[in-house]
Amino acid sequence: MRKWWKEGIVYQVYPRSFYDSNGDGIGDLQGVIEKLDYIQSLGADIIWLNPVYRSPNDDNGYDISDYYSIMEDFGTMADWEQLLAQMHQRGMKLIMDLVVNHTSDEHPWFVEARASKDSLYRDYYVWRPADGKQPPNNWRSFFSGSVWELDEQTDEYYLHLFSKKQPDLNWEQEEVRLDIYSMMKWWLDKGIDGFRMDVINMISKPPQFEDAAPVGDDGYANGGDAFINGPRVHEYLQEMNQKVLRHYDILTVGECPGTSPEEALKYVGEDRQELQMLFQFEHMKVDRSPDNKFETIPWKLTTLKRVLTKWQTELHGRGWNSLYWMNHDQPRTVSRFGNDGQYRIASAQMLATCNLTMQGTPYIYQGEEIGMTNVHFTDIEDYQDLESVNYYHTRMKLGEDPRQVLEQIHQQSRDNSRTPMQWDASEHAGFTTGSPWLKVNPNYASINVEQDRVADRSIFAYYQQLIQLRKEHLTLVYGSFENLLEEDEQLFAYVRKDEQGTYLIILNFTEQEARFQLPDYLPHGGWEKLLGNDDNYHDSDQDKQTPANLQNMIFSP
């Protein structure tokens, strides 16, 4: 069935780093309002806004101390209402981040909860008695160290999968769930158009909290098998759907690390009444060691294609995909999957083509549309992301070489995506007139929105064409997906097809030219090139289309 949230293009705004309207060095809501023309001109019609709620900012807003207020750094509720109104006037939709696996430790619920064992809010969080000096189990937090923190006052440990300033809510407690549902309704009744749900597949933890294996050199183990897609998660989401979601025409996307297509269908299967789509992370793992996200490993195109193809085909007709190369937690797209040197522009365009010609709802992260790259801070002090900073200090304690650890951080740090948006070549890339909260990538003088606009080959303009094409050819949204070259390490070629048409997409992921052989069962000759960035291709070449050097083409017969 056709749906606005299937046909829409999402632009993700990380407000802290997008545009600073008042010179305090921090991006803000008025900054987003000022740049709505920019986002709309790209062709995006939905914005996913990272958390803007009140927060002490231990994890840049993912530690919420009041779900009903706006963070002062970002502005006021009036600013937020103005943003929503202006977006709706333009026919754009606003998706808010929903962070309900945990709150801030400064949230009044937790302040109350930790005050005494008899507090009315005690059971809003997960507590275990202190038995000697050992935490209740050996799970490692996503941000290093134990998932348990001893609360001295009541001599019990509380659970935090993320930082110790992000205590996990206890979803077993019905009052917690009902309070969350009321809060969701409150925002939906203000007129928002959906939620991106932070680590929503981790909200149900088996109460036994058994040790996990294997134990790493830091003394901890990954407890994910227990709490990822935990025992009651679907019960909770069906309840949330019944009580809240089904009463609104909204987009819902669950962030679900560690989820296979089979598991995914339990969340997004059309018969399930849970969510509409989720973010899967399998393609975010192709270049990482399974035990350590900071350990970059060489990746193969065949692996990436296998993962993407599996999601395309297994969800087809049964659930809906979301498509992305990056977000605020991931390295920059061109640096990771393309080439951020000589072929930066060609590869940014090629990767854009891939993201925008598969089945699912495409997400574009701020700066991706101008080919922004990873940053290489040489001093750990320049990194702000607590995941990177904690990792660094943990590895230092284990006696590792600081240069090597910094090199790992260069590749995989979340700050790669969080450096300020590069608007122009003026100081601080035109992001702020003040001093930015996180240093601007030094390459801003050559990579910025202004520069891209006047360049011979504009990435932004290419995105515009691509989005236009997708909107005009709905087969690119709804059609089936067939991977043509499973074993090829250079080309990703696939066919999108339905009653309306057939489309052939050829992408070269390498720096070398590649030869594409049309399979016999596809028409030979008569293909029209709709879009592409390979200037060397001529229509007379029909059977030997050769996308060169990280370039790509889209054809239709």
- Which residues are designated catalytic? 198, 255
Residue choice 48, 127, 139, 142 for contact with ligand ISL (CB under 6 A): 142
Give me the count of residues in the chain. Answer: 557
62 binds ligand ISL (CB under 6 A): yes
Residues 6+ apart with CB under 8 A from 418: 14, 16, 17, 60, 328, 384, 385, 438
Q: Verify binding: residue 284, ligand ISL, rule CB under 6 A.
A: yes
Candidate segments 22-30, 91-99, 333-341, 359-367, binder of Ca ion by CB under 5 A: 22-30
Which of 28, 198, 369, 387 touches Ca ion (CB under 5 A)? 28
59 interacts with ligand ISL by CB under 6 A: yes
- Residue 511 interacting entry, from ligand ISL, Ca ion, none, C-beta within 5 to 8 Å by type: none
Query: Which long-range CB contacts under 8 A does 448-455 form with residues at least 24 apart?
Result: 448/370, 448/422, 448/423, 448/424, 449/38, 449/370, 449/421, 449/422, 449/423, 449/424, 450/423, 450/424, 450/425, 451/424, 451/425, 452/370, 452/371, 455/345
Q: From the list ligand ISL, Ca ion, none, pick the one residue 392 interacts with, judged by a Cβ distance below 5 to 8 Å according to partner type.
A: none
Cβ burial of 252 (10 Å; 0-12, 13-18, 19+) is: buried
* Binders of ligand ISL in range 85-124 (CB under 6 A): 99
Closer residue to Ca ion (CB): 26 or 94: 26
Q: Which value, in Å, is the radius of gyration of the alpha carbons in the chain? A: 23
Contact 527, 324 (CB under 8 A): no
Cβ 79 to ligand ISL shortest distance, Å = 22
Which residues make Cβ contacts (< 8 Å) with residue 308, sequence separation at least 6?
283, 358
Q: Does 198 bind ligand ISL (CB under 6 A)?
A: yes
Bridge partners for 289 per DSSP: 292
Question: Least distance to Ca ion from the beta carbon of 25, Å?
Answer: 7
User: Which partner in ligand ISL, Ca ion, none is near 20 (CB below 5 to 8 A by kind)?
Assistant: Ca ion
Reduced to 3 states, what is the DSSP secondary structure of residue 523? coil
| Residue choice 24, 225, 314, 482 for contact with Ca ion (CB under 5 A) | 24
d(CA 117, CA 123): 9
Q: Tell me the window of 12-20, 185-193, 283-291, 360-368 that interacts with Ca ion (CB under 5 A).
A: 12-20
Residue 28 contact among Ca ion, ligand ISL, none, beta carbon within 5 to 8 Å by kind: Ca ion
Contact 384, 407 (CB under 8 A): no
Bridge partners of 125, per DSSP, are 169
Q: Which is nearer to ligand ISL, 281 or 478 (CB)?
A: 281
User: Quick one: what does residue 58 bind among ligand ISL, Ca ion, none, with the CB cut-off 5 to 8 Å set by partner type?
Assistant: none
User: Which residue lies nearest ligand ISL, judged by its C-beta?
Assistant: 62
**C-beta of 147: minimal distance to ligand ISL in Å?**
13
Q: Which of 181, 248, 281, 299 binds ligand ISL (CB under 6 A)?
A: 281
Query: x/- string (CB under 6 A) for ligand ISL, residues 286-325?
Result: ----------------------------------------
* Residue 439 Cβ vs Ca ion, minimum distance, rounded to whole Å: 16
Residue 62: contacted member of ligand ISL, Ca ion, none (CB under 5 to 8 Å, by partner type): ligand ISL
Q: Assess contact for 483 and 507: CB atoms under 8 A.
A: no
**Residue 198 touches which of ligand ISL, Ca ion, none (Cβ within 5-8 Å per kind):** ligand ISL
Candidates 21-29, 210-218, 407-415, 518-526; binding stretch for Ca ion (CB under 5 A): 21-29
Is residue 315 a contact partner of residue 264, using CB atoms and an 8 Å limit?
A: yes
Nearer to Ca ion, 72 or 291 (CB): 72
Is 435 an interacting residue with respect to Ca ion (CB under 5 A)? no
User: In the set 199, 466, 484, 504, which binds ligand ISL (CB under 6 A)?
Assistant: 199
Q: Of 22 and 536, which CB lies nearer to Ca ion in the complex structure?
A: 22
Burial class of 377 by CB neighbour count within 10 A (0 to 12, 13 to 18, 19+): buried
Any contact of residue 58 with ligand ISL (CB under 6 A)?
A: no
Q: Is 26 in the site for Ca ion (CB under 5 A)?
A: yes
Neighbouring residues of 227: CB distance < 8 A, sequence distance ≥ 6? 161, 202, 204, 205, 206
State in angstroms the smallest separation of the CB of 16 from ligand ISL: 11
Cα 343 from chain centroid (whole Å): 24
Residues 11, 98: Cα–Cα separation, whole Å: 17
Q: Which does 26 bind (CB under 5 to 8 A by kind): Ca ion, ligand ISL, none?
A: Ca ion
- Per-residue interface string for the shown chain with Ca ion, residues 71-110, x marking contact by CB under 5 A: ----------------------------------------
**How far is Cα 439 from Cα 482, in angstroms, rounded to an integer?**
43
Partner that binds at residue 142, options ligand ISL, Ca ion, none, CB closer than 5 to 8 Å by kind: ligand ISL
Under the binding rule (CB under 6 A), the answer on residue 158 touching ligand ISL is no
Which one among 45, 168, 282, 329 touches ligand ISL, defined by CB under 6 A? Answer: 329
Task: Report the distance separating Cα 331 and Cα 4, nearest Å.
Answer: 29
Q: How far apart are CA 230 and CA 224, in angstroms?
A: 9
Residue 385: which residues within 8 A CB-CB, separation 6 or more?
60, 413, 414, 415, 418
Q: Which of 3, 22, 116, 129 binds Ca ion (CB under 5 A)?
A: 22
- Give me 220's structure tokens: 């901890």
Can you state the angle between helices 174-189 and 233-243, rounded to 10 degrees? 40
Instruction: Enumerate helices (H) and strands (E) in the chain, giving the number of each.
Output: 18, 20
Start-to-end CA span in the chain (Å): 26
The entry of Ca ion, ligand ISL, none that residue 484 binds, CB within 5 to 8 Å by partner kind? none
**Selection from 91, 87, 109, 112 nearest residue 100 by Cα:** 109
Contact pick of 5, 53, 162, 294 for ligand ISL (by CB under 6 A): 162
Which spans of this chain sit near ligand ISL (rule: CB under 6 A)? 59, 62, 99, 142, 162, 198-199, 255, 257, 281, 284, 328-329
Which spans of this chain sit near Ca ion (rule: CB under 5 A)? 20, 22, 24, 26, 28
